Protein backbone atom coordinates (compact mmCIF):
# COMPACT_ATOMS: atom_id res chain seq x y z
CA UNK A 1 0.00 0.00 0.00
CA UNK A 2 1.17 3.50 -0.90
CA UNK A 3 2.59 5.45 2.03
CA UNK A 4 2.73 9.24 2.31
CA UNK A 5 5.22 11.04 4.57
CA UNK A 6 3.30 14.02 5.88
CA UNK A 7 4.93 17.00 7.58
CA UNK A 8 2.10 17.36 10.11
CA UNK A 9 3.49 20.47 11.82
CA UNK A 10 4.46 22.80 8.93
CA UNK A 11 1.94 25.45 7.87
CA UNK A 12 0.75 28.79 9.17
CA UNK A 13 -2.10 27.37 11.26
CA UNK A 14 -0.45 24.42 12.96
CA UNK A 15 -1.45 20.75 12.67
CA UNK A 16 -5.28 21.12 12.82
CA UNK A 17 -5.97 21.92 9.09
CA UNK A 18 -3.33 19.38 8.06
CA UNK A 19 -4.93 16.52 9.96
CA UNK A 20 -8.35 17.71 8.82
CA UNK A 21 -7.15 17.40 5.22
CA UNK A 22 -5.57 14.04 5.92
CA UNK A 23 -8.85 12.75 7.38
CA UNK A 24 -10.76 13.97 4.31
CA UNK A 25 -8.26 12.21 2.05
CA UNK A 26 -8.35 8.94 4.01
CA UNK A 27 -12.13 8.98 3.83
CA UNK A 28 -12.20 9.38 0.06
CA UNK A 29 -9.35 7.00 -0.82
CA UNK A 30 -8.83 3.61 0.86
CA UNK A 31 -5.61 2.74 -0.86
CA UNK A 32 -2.97 4.62 1.07
CA UNK A 33 -1.62 5.09 4.56
CA UNK A 34 0.34 7.88 6.19
CA UNK A 35 3.28 8.53 8.45
CA UNK A 36 2.41 11.82 10.14
CA UNK A 37 5.57 13.46 11.47
CA UNK A 38 5.10 15.80 14.41
CA UNK A 39 4.38 16.30 18.07
CA UNK A 40 2.45 13.24 19.27
CA UNK A 41 0.73 15.18 22.06
CA UNK A 42 -0.69 17.66 19.56
CA UNK A 43 -1.48 15.19 16.80
CA UNK A 44 -3.15 12.33 18.69
CA UNK A 45 -6.25 14.22 19.84
CA UNK A 46 -6.85 15.46 16.25
CA UNK A 47 -6.96 11.98 14.69
CA UNK A 48 -10.40 10.29 14.55
CA UNK A 49 -10.47 6.79 16.06
CA UNK A 50 -11.53 5.12 12.82
CA UNK A 51 -8.40 6.23 10.92
CA UNK A 52 -5.86 5.41 13.63
CA UNK A 53 -4.80 2.17 11.92
CA UNK A 54 -3.92 4.04 8.72
CA UNK A 55 -1.94 6.81 10.45
CA UNK A 56 1.38 6.12 12.06
CA UNK A 57 2.75 9.00 14.11
CA UNK A 58 6.49 9.61 14.02
CA UNK A 59 7.09 11.80 17.04
CA UNK A 60 9.32 14.88 16.89
CA UNK A 61 9.27 18.28 18.57
CA UNK A 62 11.06 20.68 16.19
CA UNK A 63 9.32 22.59 13.38
CA UNK A 64 11.00 24.80 10.76
CA UNK A 65 8.96 28.00 10.91
CA UNK A 66 8.30 30.53 8.16
CA UNK A 67 10.79 32.89 9.79
CA UNK A 68 13.66 30.39 9.69
CA UNK A 69 16.23 30.48 6.90
CA UNK A 70 15.96 27.73 4.28
CA UNK A 71 19.70 27.23 4.50
CA UNK A 72 19.35 26.05 8.10
CA UNK A 73 16.97 23.24 7.12
CA UNK A 74 19.76 20.70 6.67
CA UNK A 75 20.91 21.23 10.26
CA UNK A 76 17.41 20.84 11.76
CA UNK A 77 17.55 17.03 11.85
CA UNK A 78 14.78 16.72 14.44
CA UNK A 79 12.32 18.87 12.53
CA UNK A 80 9.13 17.42 11.08
CA UNK A 81 10.16 18.35 7.51
CA UNK A 82 13.61 16.79 7.81
CA UNK A 83 12.32 13.54 9.29
CA UNK A 84 9.50 13.22 6.72
CA UNK A 85 12.01 13.77 3.88
CA UNK A 86 14.31 11.09 5.39
CA UNK A 87 11.42 8.61 5.43
CA UNK A 88 11.09 9.06 1.66
CA UNK A 89 14.84 8.98 1.13
CA UNK A 90 15.09 5.71 3.09
CA UNK A 91 12.25 4.10 1.14
CA UNK A 92 9.92 4.01 4.15
CA UNK A 93 7.45 6.31 2.39
CA UNK A 94 6.67 6.95 -1.27
CA UNK A 95 5.97 10.68 -1.37
CA UNK A 96 6.33 13.84 0.74
CA UNK A 97 3.69 16.48 1.46
CA UNK A 98 4.22 19.69 3.46
CA UNK A 99 2.51 23.05 3.97
CA UNK A 100 5.58 24.27 5.84
CA UNK A 101 8.53 26.46 4.80
CA UNK A 102 8.67 25.91 1.03
CA UNK A 103 12.32 26.86 0.69
CA UNK A 104 13.22 24.33 3.39
CA UNK A 105 11.16 21.60 1.69
CA UNK A 106 12.86 22.33 -1.63
CA UNK A 107 16.37 22.27 -0.15
CA UNK A 108 15.72 19.10 1.83
CA UNK A 109 14.10 17.31 -1.10
CA UNK A 110 16.84 18.33 -3.54
CA UNK A 111 19.77 17.60 -1.27
CA UNK A 112 18.48 14.59 0.73
CA UNK A 113 16.22 12.75 -1.74
CA UNK A 114 18.31 13.93 -4.68
CA UNK A 115 17.77 14.98 -8.26
CA UNK A 116 16.64 12.72 -11.08
CA UNK A 117 19.57 11.83 -13.37
CA UNK A 118 19.84 14.47 -16.09
CA UNK A 119 17.99 17.18 -14.14
CA UNK A 120 20.23 20.15 -13.29
CA UNK A 121 17.64 21.89 -11.12
CA UNK A 122 14.21 20.87 -9.82
CA UNK A 123 11.37 23.29 -10.55
CA UNK A 124 8.09 24.17 -8.84
CA UNK A 125 5.04 23.82 -11.07
CA UNK A 126 1.62 25.30 -10.45
CA UNK A 127 -1.77 25.30 -12.16
CA UNK A 128 -3.28 28.60 -13.33
CA UNK A 129 -6.99 28.79 -14.20
CA UNK A 130 -8.37 29.54 -17.66
CA UNK A 131 -12.05 29.63 -18.62
CA UNK A 132 -12.34 25.90 -19.25
CA UNK A 133 -9.10 24.19 -18.21
CA UNK A 134 -5.85 24.85 -16.37
CA UNK A 135 -2.35 25.76 -17.50
CA UNK A 136 0.71 24.29 -15.81
CA UNK A 137 3.40 26.93 -15.27
CA UNK A 138 6.97 26.21 -14.19
CA UNK A 139 9.23 27.35 -12.62
CA UNK A 140 7.32 29.53 -10.18
CA UNK A 141 10.01 30.15 -7.62
CA UNK A 142 12.64 27.46 -7.12
CA UNK A 143 15.27 28.96 -9.46
CA UNK A 144 15.91 32.67 -9.81
CA UNK A 145 18.70 32.80 -12.40
CA UNK A 146 18.24 30.16 -15.09
CA UNK A 147 20.17 29.30 -18.23
CA UNK A 148 18.70 27.90 -21.45
CA UNK A 149 19.42 24.30 -20.42
CA UNK A 150 17.40 24.77 -17.22
CA UNK A 151 14.45 26.07 -19.22
CA UNK A 152 14.78 23.14 -21.63
CA UNK A 153 14.58 20.70 -18.72
CA UNK A 154 11.59 22.55 -17.21
CA UNK A 155 9.79 22.17 -20.54
CA UNK A 156 10.36 18.42 -20.61
CA UNK A 157 9.45 17.92 -16.94
CA UNK A 158 6.28 19.99 -17.33
CA UNK A 159 5.27 18.08 -20.43
CA UNK A 160 5.75 14.70 -18.74
CA UNK A 161 3.79 15.86 -15.66
CA UNK A 162 0.94 17.05 -17.90
CA UNK A 163 0.90 13.66 -19.61
CA UNK A 164 1.38 11.33 -16.67
CA UNK A 165 -0.37 13.12 -13.83
CA UNK A 166 -2.82 15.55 -15.46
CA UNK A 167 -3.75 13.00 -18.14
CA UNK A 168 -3.26 15.27 -21.17
CA UNK A 169 -2.34 12.98 -24.04
CA UNK A 170 -0.35 15.41 -26.17
CA UNK A 171 0.45 18.48 -24.11
CA UNK A 172 1.30 21.71 -25.92
CA UNK A 173 4.29 23.56 -24.46
CA UNK A 174 5.05 27.29 -24.74
CA UNK A 175 8.05 29.38 -23.75
CA UNK A 176 7.08 32.59 -21.90
CA UNK A 177 8.40 35.59 -23.83
CA UNK A 178 7.67 39.19 -24.79
CA UNK A 179 6.12 38.28 -28.13
CA UNK A 180 5.10 35.25 -30.16
CA UNK A 181 7.58 35.66 -32.99
CA UNK A 182 10.70 33.51 -32.92
CA UNK A 183 12.84 36.64 -32.89
CA UNK A 184 11.33 37.80 -29.58
CA UNK A 185 12.84 37.01 -26.21
CA UNK A 186 15.83 37.78 -24.03
CA UNK A 187 19.18 36.10 -24.57
CA UNK A 188 18.32 33.09 -22.40
CA UNK A 189 14.88 32.41 -23.88
CA UNK A 190 16.16 32.82 -27.45
CA UNK A 191 18.75 30.13 -26.79
CA UNK A 192 16.15 27.94 -25.06
CA UNK A 193 13.83 28.36 -28.05
CA UNK A 194 16.46 26.81 -30.33
CA UNK A 195 17.05 23.94 -27.89
CA UNK A 196 13.32 23.20 -27.71
CA UNK A 197 12.45 23.41 -31.40
CA UNK A 198 12.57 19.63 -31.80
CA UNK A 199 10.48 18.83 -28.70
CA UNK A 200 7.16 17.35 -29.87
CA UNK A 201 4.36 19.66 -28.78
CA UNK A 202 6.60 22.75 -28.50
CA UNK A 203 4.54 25.67 -29.81
CA UNK A 204 7.24 28.33 -29.60
CA UNK A 205 6.94 31.58 -27.66
CA UNK A 206 3.80 32.49 -25.74
CA UNK A 207 2.90 35.76 -24.00
CA UNK A 208 1.64 36.48 -20.49
CA UNK A 209 -2.02 36.43 -21.53
CA UNK A 210 -1.61 32.99 -23.13
CA UNK A 211 -1.27 31.51 -19.64
CA UNK A 212 -4.93 32.36 -19.11
CA UNK A 213 -6.48 31.63 -22.51
CA UNK A 214 -5.74 27.91 -22.73
CA UNK A 215 -3.68 28.08 -25.95
CA UNK A 216 -1.05 25.76 -24.45
CA UNK A 217 -0.99 23.25 -21.55
CA UNK A 218 2.47 24.01 -20.17
CA UNK A 219 4.23 27.39 -19.91
CA UNK A 220 7.95 27.57 -19.15
CA UNK A 221 9.81 30.45 -17.50
CA UNK A 222 12.50 31.04 -14.89
CA UNK A 223 11.50 31.18 -11.22
CA UNK A 224 12.05 34.95 -10.91
CA UNK A 225 9.59 35.69 -13.71
CA UNK A 226 7.28 32.86 -12.57
CA UNK A 227 7.00 34.46 -9.14
CA UNK A 228 6.33 37.92 -10.59
CA UNK A 229 3.70 36.45 -12.94
CA UNK A 230 1.97 34.64 -10.06
CA UNK A 231 1.92 37.71 -7.80
CA UNK A 232 0.77 39.93 -10.68
CA UNK A 233 -2.15 37.57 -11.36
CA UNK A 234 -3.08 37.59 -7.65
CA UNK A 235 -2.78 41.36 -7.53
CA UNK A 236 -5.03 41.93 -10.54
CA UNK A 237 -7.72 39.50 -9.31
CA UNK A 238 -7.61 41.10 -5.88
CA UNK A 239 -7.83 44.64 -7.25
CA UNK A 240 -10.78 43.82 -9.51
CA UNK A 241 -12.58 42.36 -6.49
CA UNK A 242 -11.85 45.49 -4.45
CA UNK A 243 -12.97 47.90 -7.20
CA UNK A 244 -16.23 45.95 -7.57
CA UNK A 245 -16.82 46.06 -3.80
CA UNK A 246 -15.98 49.76 -3.59
CA UNK A 247 -18.39 50.67 -6.40
CA UNK A 248 -21.06 48.40 -4.92
CA UNK A 249 -21.34 50.49 -1.79
CA UNK A 250 -22.48 53.44 -3.86
CA UNK A 251 -25.97 52.13 -4.59
CA UNK A 252 -28.60 49.81 -3.14
CA UNK A 253 -29.52 48.66 -6.65
CA UNK A 254 -25.97 47.43 -7.21
CA UNK A 255 -25.94 45.64 -3.87
CA UNK A 256 -29.15 43.84 -4.84
CA UNK A 257 -27.49 42.96 -8.14
CA UNK A 258 -24.51 41.47 -6.34
CA UNK A 259 -26.81 39.38 -4.15
CA UNK A 260 -28.49 37.98 -7.25
CA UNK A 261 -25.08 37.31 -8.81
CA UNK A 262 -23.86 35.44 -5.72
CA UNK A 263 -23.65 32.13 -7.55
CA UNK A 264 -21.58 33.68 -10.32
CA UNK A 265 -19.08 35.12 -7.87
CA UNK A 266 -18.97 31.80 -6.04
CA UNK A 267 -18.16 30.05 -9.34
CA UNK A 268 -15.40 32.59 -9.96
CA UNK A 269 -13.96 32.07 -6.51
CA UNK A 270 -13.94 28.31 -7.05
CA UNK A 271 -12.03 28.83 -10.29
CA UNK A 272 -9.29 30.93 -8.73
CA UNK A 273 -9.19 29.17 -5.36
CA UNK A 274 -5.80 27.54 -4.80
CA UNK A 275 -7.46 25.05 -2.42
CA UNK A 276 -9.05 23.44 -5.49
CA UNK A 277 -5.63 22.68 -6.89
CA UNK A 278 -3.95 21.51 -3.70
CA UNK A 279 -0.22 22.08 -3.74
CA UNK A 280 2.60 22.65 -6.17
CA UNK A 281 4.71 19.67 -7.24
CA UNK A 282 8.50 20.02 -7.08
CA UNK A 283 9.51 18.33 -10.32
CA UNK A 284 12.93 16.79 -10.85
CA UNK A 285 13.57 15.10 -7.50
CA UNK A 286 13.62 11.31 -7.16
CA UNK A 287 10.29 11.03 -5.33
CA UNK A 288 7.00 12.97 -5.50
CA UNK A 289 7.22 16.14 -3.40
CA UNK A 290 4.14 18.34 -3.00
CA UNK A 291 4.55 21.81 -1.54
CA UNK A 292 1.23 23.10 -0.22
CA UNK A 293 0.40 26.72 0.55
CA UNK A 294 1.23 27.74 4.12
CA UNK A 295 -2.36 28.89 4.60
CA UNK A 296 -3.83 25.59 3.30
CA UNK A 297 -7.19 24.61 4.72
CA UNK A 298 -8.41 21.01 5.02
CA UNK A 299 -9.60 20.88 1.43
CA UNK A 300 -6.29 22.17 0.06
CA UNK A 301 -4.37 19.64 2.17
CA UNK A 302 -6.51 16.73 1.00
CA UNK A 303 -5.99 17.79 -2.61
CA UNK A 304 -2.23 18.05 -2.02
CA UNK A 305 -2.27 14.48 -0.68
CA UNK A 306 -4.21 13.30 -3.74
CA UNK A 307 -1.63 14.98 -5.98
CA UNK A 308 1.15 13.11 -4.17
CA UNK A 309 -0.76 9.82 -4.60
CA UNK A 310 -1.40 10.47 -8.30
CA UNK A 311 2.27 11.27 -8.88
CA UNK A 312 3.46 8.25 -6.90
CA UNK A 313 1.13 5.93 -8.83
CA UNK A 314 2.31 7.24 -12.19
CA UNK A 315 5.56 6.68 -14.06
CA UNK A 316 6.32 10.40 -13.75
CA UNK A 317 9.91 10.21 -12.58
CA UNK A 318 10.97 7.33 -14.84
CA UNK A 319 9.50 9.21 -17.77
CA UNK A 320 11.16 12.49 -16.76
CA UNK A 321 14.52 10.71 -16.63
CA UNK A 322 13.99 8.91 -19.95
CA UNK A 323 12.68 11.96 -21.76
CA UNK A 324 15.38 14.32 -20.54
CA UNK A 325 18.20 11.96 -21.37
CA UNK A 326 16.71 10.91 -24.71
CA UNK A 327 16.08 14.52 -25.74
CA UNK A 328 19.56 15.64 -24.79
CA UNK A 329 21.23 12.97 -26.96
The residue ranges that bind a second copy (CB under 8 A) are 129-131, 141, 144-145, 176-179, 185-187, 189, 207-213, 221-225, 227-240, 242-244, 246-248, 250-251, 253-254, 256-265, 267-268, 271-272
DSSP designation for 285: B
First to last CA, the chain: 37
Smallest separation, CB 320 to a second copy (Å):
25
Smallest separation, CB 193 to a second copy (Å):
13
Smaller CB distance to a second copy: residue 205 or 302? 205
HSE-CB at 152 with a 13 A cutoff on CA atoms is: 23
Smaller CB distance to a second copy: residue 74 or 240? 240
Smallest separation, CB 256 to a second copy (Å):
5
Is the CA virtual torsion 180, 183, 189, 194 positive or negative? positive
Smaller CB distance to a second copy: residue 34 or 137? 137
Residues 84, 91: contact at Cβ < 8 Å?
A: no
Smaller CB distance to a second copy: residue 54 or 190? 190
Residues 179, 207: contact at Cβ < 8 Å?
A: yes
Smallest separation, CB 288 to a second copy (Å):
25
Smallest separation, CB 220 to a second copy (Å):
12
Strands 134-138 and 123-129, how do they pair? antiparallel
Smaller CB distance to a second copy: residue 163 or 205? 205
Residues 176, 220: contact at Cβ < 8 Å?
A: yes
Is the CA virtual torsion 224, 227, 233, 237 positive or negative? negative
Amino acid sequence: MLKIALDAMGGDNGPAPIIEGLTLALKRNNNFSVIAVGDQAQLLPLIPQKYKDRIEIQHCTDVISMHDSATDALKRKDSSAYIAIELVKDGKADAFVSAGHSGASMSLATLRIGRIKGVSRPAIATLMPTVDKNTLVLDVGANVDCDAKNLQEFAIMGKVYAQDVLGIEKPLVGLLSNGEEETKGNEVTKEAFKMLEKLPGFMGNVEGNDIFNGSVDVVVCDGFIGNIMLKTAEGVADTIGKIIKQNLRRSLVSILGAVLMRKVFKGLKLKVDYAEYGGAPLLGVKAPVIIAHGKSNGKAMSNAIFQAIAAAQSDLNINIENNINKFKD
